[in-house]
Chain A
Amino acid sequence: MAADERGHDHDHDHDHDHEHPHDHDRTFQPDIEDAPPGRYELMTYAIRELLVEKGHLTGEEIRKAQEKIDSWEPSQGARIVARAWTDPEFKKRLLEDGNDAMAEYGIEPGGAKMTVVENTDKVQNVIVCTLCSCYPRAVLGLPPDWYRSKNYRSRVVIEPREVLKEFGTEVPDDMAVRVHDSLADLRYLVLPRRPEGTEGWSEEQLARIVTRDTMVGVANPDVDRAGS
Chain B
Amino acid sequence: MTAVFHPGDRVRVIRTHPPGHRRTPYYIRGKVGEIERVCGAHPNPEELAYGFDGLPAKVLYRVRFRQKEVWESYAGPDSDTVDVDIYEHWLRPA
Contacts and interface: CB of A to CB of B under 8 A. Distances in A.
**A and B interact:** yes
Given A113-B39, A158-B71, A186-B39, A180 B25 contact: no
Interface of B: 23-25, 27-28, 39-40, 42, 45, 60, 62, 67, 70-71, 74-77, 79-87
Contacts of B60: 184-186
9 contacts: A113-B39, A131-B23, A158-B74, A178-B80, A178-B82, A179-B67, A180-B82, A184-B60, A186-B39
A10 B45 CA distance: 67
B84 A181 contact: yes
Given A184-B87, A186-B60, A186-B62, A131 B25 contact: yes
A181 B77 CA distance: 19
B45 A176 contact: no
Nearest to A111: B42
Contacts of B62: 115, 186
Contacts of B24: 183
Given A113-B39, A158-B71, A159-B75, A184 B85 contact: yes
A173 B82 contact: no
A157 interface: yes
A179 B85 contact: no
A184 B77 contact: no
Interface of A: 111, 113, 115, 130-131, 157-161, 173-186
Given A182-B85, A184-B60, A176 B23 contact: no
A163 to B, nearest CB: 11
A182 B23 CA distance: 10
A184 B42 contact: yes
Nearest to B21: A131
B23 A178 contact: no
A161 B39 contact: no
**List of 3 A-B pairs having minimum Cβ-Cβ separation, nearest first:** A176-B79, A179-B82, A184-B23
A176 B78 CA distance: 8
Which of A111, A115, A175, A179 has most chain B Cβ within 10 Å?
A179
A185 B76 contact: no
A113 B77 CA distance: 30
A173 B80 CA distance: 9
Which of B23, B25, B71, B82 has most chain A Cβ within 10 Å?
B82
B83 A177 contact: no
Nearest to B81: A178
A131 B80 CA distance: 21
A118 to B, nearest CB: 13
A179 B40 contact: no
